[in-house]
Structure formats: C-alpha cells, structure tokens
Amino acid sequence: MPAGLMLFLGAWGIRRQDAIWRDEAVTYDMAHRGLADVWATLQHVDVVHGLYYVLMHLWFAGYDATLRGAFGDAVGLRLPSVAAMTVAAAGVALLGERLVGRRAGLLAGCTFALIPVVQQYAQEGRSYATVCALVVWASLLLVPAAARPRRKLWLGYTALMLFACLLHEFASLALPAHGAAVILARLPRRVLRSWLLAAVTVLAGLAPLAVFSTRQSAQISWLMWPDPVQLLTFAVLAVLGIACTRVRIRSRGPIGLRALGLPLLLLPTLLLLLLSHVEPAYVDRYVLYYVVGFALLAGAALARLLRPPGELGQTRGRRLRWTMTVVLIVAVLVPVNVHLRSPDSRVDDVTAIAHALREVAEPGDGLLFMPSRRRIWRATLPRDFRGLHDLALAESPLASHTLYGTERSGEAIRSRMLSVRRIVVAGDPDGQPVDDNDQEIAKRTTLREAFGICRSTQVRGARITVYARPGACGGGG
C-alpha cells in the first residue's frame, strides 16, 4: 500500500504543465551530452552530480527512443525520481515492520508518502529521491546486520551507502545517524567494529570525489543563511517526531525504533547546519532522508494510538479523536500537494520563459542573459531562441565544457550591443541581487545609456525585457 500510494502521488500531476525549473534544465542538458563531453565538463563544474548525470544519460538514451514522443521531456526527467521514491516508501514500510510491527510499517510508509517535501522531490529531475531511497534500504540492511552479523549484509550496507554518497556527498551525514543507532542500542563491540569498518570504507571511497569537489565550491556560493521555510519544516517535523517518542512503543530486535528513528531525524540536518557556520551549505534537499526518521516515529505512534479500544484500553471517543486528527492533517495537506504540482511551486519555469521570449522577439534581435548563468533557460527549448544573436556568448556550454558557456569581455559585449537595434534581455525578476563582474556591468551600463525599454513581461522566476535604440521599438513600442 505505501508503495502504491507513493506511485500514485508521484504520477499525479507529474508534467506540471510541462514546467521545468533551472536545476532540472541542467540535468536535461548534461544528460543529453555525450559521455566524453560530460566527463570533460565535470573537470570544471558539477562533479558532485557526475554519477547522476551519467545514469540520466543512459536513461534518456532509451527514453528518447521509445517514450519521449508520447510523454515529453518533463516526464522523462521525473520518472526516475518517482520510481526511486516508490522504492523508498516500500523500504520505509519494511523498516517500520522490522522495527515495530506490520501496522507500524504500513503507517510509516504511508506517512512518508504523504509528507509534502517527499512528493516535491519525487517529481524533481535531480538525484535527491534516489539518494533517499538508497539511505532507506541501507538502513533496512543495517538492522538485520546488527542482529545477526553476516558479511553479505555488511557488504550490501556498505555498497548502498557508497552509491548514495557518490550520488551526493551529503548522504555521508546518514553515517553518524547509523552509528548513533548502533551505540544507543548497546550492541556488542563486534557490531560496532563492523559498522566502523563499513563507514570507513564508504568514506575512503568518497574521499577522491570530496577532495576534487572542493575545487568547485564556488558553485554553492549563492547559499547564504538557511531558508526560513525549510528550517521551519525541519523544526515542525523534529518536534512532532520527538513527541511521538512519548508514546509507549515496543520495538523488535536489538536496534529499537527510537535508537534509529531519532538520530536519522535529527543528526543529518543538525550536522549540516553546524557545517554551515563554517561555509554556508544548508539546503533541505541535501539531507532529504531525514524525513525517514520522522515517518518511522510517526507511523509507530499512530499504530499504537489507533489500535482498537480493547487492545489499548482506550475509549471509543479517544480513538475517534485521534482518527479525526489524522483526517484533518491529510485534508490540510491537500492544498499544499496541489500547489506542488503547479509551475508556481518552483523558483522559475524554463518553459514559460522560453515561450514568453519567443512571443516578444523578432528575427535578428540581439539576446542577453542577465546574469550569464541564466543561459541554462535555453537548454530544454533551444528552438525558441533560434534567429536571435547571443551578443555576449564567446563559447557555447558544450564547446566550453561548462554549464552556461563563456562570455566575451565587457568591452567586446558593449561593442556588439551597439551594433544592433533591438535587444531581448532574459534576466532575473526585480529585487534580485546583481552580479558585479565586468561583463554584467557592461550589459547594464550599455542598456541604460544607449537603449530604451519597449516592453517588459514578468514570468515565473524571470523578466523578459525588449530594449531598442531610439525609434526602433517597432510593434512593441
């Protein structure tokens, strides 16, 4: 049932009106490059997602040949994440059953599927759903490995955790949570030694990637202090999860529910927040798997509180109140779930931006992206940009082995801008900070001094503005 529920929720509204946001556009672009070009690009940028891009390249090789014509690019980007979250929900249910019982597992898996952030990343063309699934199944192997240590179980645990970490480095923050579970369960030292050996092996396998990726740390320079909404989401789930531990729950096996659920809920996020004091690095999706801890604790608590009155000594009225509370929570989540399936749920909409630009542009117009990293907006619909001259571009993303291409000098950009009568600017919406490099200063200064605004259109996450020399606005003036 949890897997079926997650599959339904993942498939519901998966197209999102064919809206694709900028991170998904990066995935699409990288997945459609040749493997040699992917490798060359990773030497300069995005090496932390390299394995995911290779897997998506292999996926799209089959998808484009068979299913793309029927379902489109957006579905192709998201289907692997839907599948991963479905597998994750099944794993949460099995883990809850092994830790507490069948009813607890069923409710834990359904709780996991209903969490909004889980549904969000189930429909995201990025690696986070897959990482979450791998951590869930690694946790599922950890429990029997601790109860009856066997080499195959520890090898499986090590392989899954290493795979998760190679997909995203911050999956390594699940290791301290697993270690805390082993310690809190007061297991024999040989179990702790086996876990330590597995953890060291995982970190040793991750080390080359982690060391190399430090050269590309400028990629997350946009991160400042954590997003308040993300922090509030974590705080609410943490408080509710801790409250669930007050319900009397009888665990099975040597590793108890609290020993695993609480560290998995709290430690990854707290450690990432601590790391952010050294260098800003907190985004909730980096440790998405923390919600597994909440789902396990909530599922076990609900299984206990919703048992028939005769089993628990509750009155029918009390059981009815708990049932109504659960129904109310689900009802409150419906508007959130509907919003997650709309284009407005992401920071921008690459598809809408491309269409808006096509409506206002004329063949032969100049084109500028401000800032240059917004050139990723053209990755999924390059046909909508045909006939326009990218005035700042020196080398394309593919030729330069970068995500956004390389740009000319500020002086060269100014000269090319002055050679055209109209320029279409695809830029950030009002109120966003501006870049202060030579190229962006040249773009802003030249537009202000030599061009006037003909028309401007606001779309999700962007502003499309047509600039023209005096008297050249034409139909847009």
Cα first-last separation, the chain: 58
**C-alpha span between 169 and 50 (Å, rounded):** 11
**C-alpha span between 129 and 291 (Å, rounded):** 12
Q: Which of 104, 32, 103, 89 is nearest to 289 (CA)?
A: 89
How many Cα atoms within 13 Å fall on the side-chain side of residue 167? 23
**C-alpha span between 341 and 248 (Å, rounded):** 37
pLDDT digits (tens, 9 = 90+) for 67-84: 999 999 999 999 999 999
Alpha-carbon 278 to chain mean position: 23
Q: Which of 347, 355, 359, 357 is nearest to 429 (CA)?
A: 347
pLDDT at 338 over 60: yes
CA angle (354 as vertex; 51, 81 as ends), nearest 5: 30
**C-alpha span between 220 and 47 (Å, rounded):** 13
- Using N-to-C axis directions, what is the helix angle for 189-213 and 128-147, rounded to 10°? 160
**C-alpha span between 307 and 374 (Å, rounded):** 54
pLDDT at 308 over 70: no
Instruction: Kindly indicate the confidence band of residue 356, based on its pLDDT and cuts at 50, 70 and 90.
Output: very high
pLDDT at 222 over 80: no
Q: What is the pLDDT of residue 260?
A: 96
pLDDT at 117 over 80: yes
Q: Are 376 and 26 in contact (CB under 8 A)?
A: yes
Q: What is the pLDDT of residue 309?
A: 54
0.85 cut: is pTM over it? Answer: yes
User: In the numeric block, which tokens belong to residue 83?
Assistant: 């599948």
Q: Are 160 and 138 in contact (CB under 8 A)?
A: yes
Cβ neighbours of residue 475 closer than 8 Å, sequence gap 6 or more: none
SS3 of 422, please?
A: strand
pLDDT digits (tens, 9 = 90+) for 235-288: 999 999 999 998 888 888 789 999 999 999 999 999 999 988 777 778 899 999
- Using N-to-C axis directions, what is the helix angle for 68-99 and 2-11, rounded to 10°? 150
User: In the numeric block, which tokens belong to residue 189?
Assistant: 């030292």
pLDDT digits (tens, 9 = 90+) for 127-184: 999 999 999 999 999 999 998 878 999 999 999 999 999 999 999 999 999 999 999 9
**C-alpha span between 402 and 37 (Å, rounded):** 10
Task: Select the more confidently predicted residue: 328 or 322.
Answer: 328
**C-alpha span between 103 and 304 (Å, rounded):** 9
Q: Are 370 and 425 in contact (CB under 8 A)?
A: yes
Q: What percentage of the chain exceeds 90 in pLDDT?
A: 79
Stated length of the chain: 477
pLDDT at 43 over 90: yes
Helix then strand then coil, % of the chain, to nearest 5? 70, 5, 25
Q: What is the pLDDT of residue 165?
A: 97
Cβ neighbours of residue 229 closer than 8 Å, sequence gap 6 or more: none
CA–CA distance from 43 to each of 37, 192, 282, 404 (Å)? 10, 37, 24, 15
**C-alpha span between 298 and 247 (Å, rounded):** 10
SS3 of 462, please?
A: strand
Q: What is the pLDDT of residue 296?
A: 97
Q: What is the largest CA-CA distance in the chain?
A: 84
Encode burial over 208-231: b for 16+ CB neighbours within 10 A, e otherwise.
eeeeebeeeeeeeeeeeebeeeee
Long-range pairs, 407-416, Cβ under 8 A, ≥24 = 407/372, 407/439, 408/439, 409/438, 409/439, 410/438, 410/439, 410/441, 410/442, 411/442, 413/439, 413/442, 413/443, 413/446, 414/442, 414/445, 414/446, 416/366, 416/391, 416/392
Q: Are 90 and 109 in contact (CB under 8 A)?
A: yes
Q: What is the pLDDT of residue 160?
A: 98
Lowest mean pLDDT among 39-43, 174-178, 275-279, 290-294: 275-279
In this structure, are strands 462-468 and 452-459 parallel, antiparallel, or unpaired? antiparallel
CA–CA distance from 36 to each of 31, 53, 126, 161, 405 (Å)? 12, 12, 21, 27, 17
Q: What is the dihedral of CA 31, 36, 40, 45, to 10 degrees?
A: 20
**C-alpha span between 466 and 472 (Å, rounded):** 11
Cβ neighbours of residue 309 closer than 8 Å, sequence gap 6 or more: 315, 316, 318, 319
Lowest mean pLDDT among 73-87, 180-194, 213-227, 327-341: 213-227
pLDDT at 311 over 60: no
pLDDT at 477 over 50: no
